[in-house]
Amino acid sequence: MGEPATPASFGRLERMLLAAVAALLALALFWLRGGLHPEAALERLARQSPELSTALTNGRPTLVEFYADWCEACRAMAPAMEAMERRHKGKLDVVLLNVDNPSWQPQIESYGVNGIPHLELFDPQGERLGRVIGARSPVELESLGAALVAGDPLPALSGSAPTSALAEEQAAPLATPIAPRSHG
């Protein structure tokens, strides 16, 4: 039969058991934190997004999306936004600005963002062409991207409008400002 366990062999057994438990805990933590799942499209787009000031001055048209991580419509649109950005790589800048980030408050106010998703569209010189509010289909997003790249008129979509020629300082302020996070 086998020899009785000695104190030295018992310590080795404990260490092996402890290592196995540690490996299982590490594996469980890895799995709970998402494992090998790829990063979601919205997070990937936001992380790769150029700075707004760079995008508006580099000679390419720009599509700016005001979004939030918790916004289901923003998350649903993200794969199509990402596909459009890939198709027009180097010809169109796609910038994502999170409405929950206080550093974007001046832009939120400047562009009158009061709901998300909210898209602002700019020509290669950084001049504002229009806006689109609300969730968009992949076909609609691609038509916006293609029009911006080609310099064509923006497609007529529901919830979209050209920007007004009225100077910002002449526009009447809202009696009660509406925050983009106030819907729902």
Start-to-end Cα distance in the chain? 73
Tokens, residue 64: 């700016």
Looking at the domain covering 41-182, what would its CATH class be? Answer: alpha beta
Instruction: Mark whether 71 is an active-site residue.
Output: yes
Q: For the chain, what are the domain ranges?
A: 1-37, 41-182
Percent of the chain scoring above 90 in pLDDT:
58
Please state, in angstroms and rounded to a whole number, the distance separating the CA atoms of residues 128 and 90: 20
Catalytic residue, chosen from 55, 71, 77, 81, is 71
Catalytic residue, chosen from 63, 74, 113, 121, is 74
What pLDDT, in 10s, does the model give residues 113-143?
Answer: 999 999 999 999 999 999 999 999 999 999 9
pTM: 0.68
Collect the ranges in the chain with pLDDT lower than 70: 1-10, 28-38, 159-184
Which of 155, 76, 174, 165 minimizes the C-alpha distance to 65? 76
Strand pairing partners for 96? 65
Neighbouring CB atoms inside 10 A of 99's CB total 23
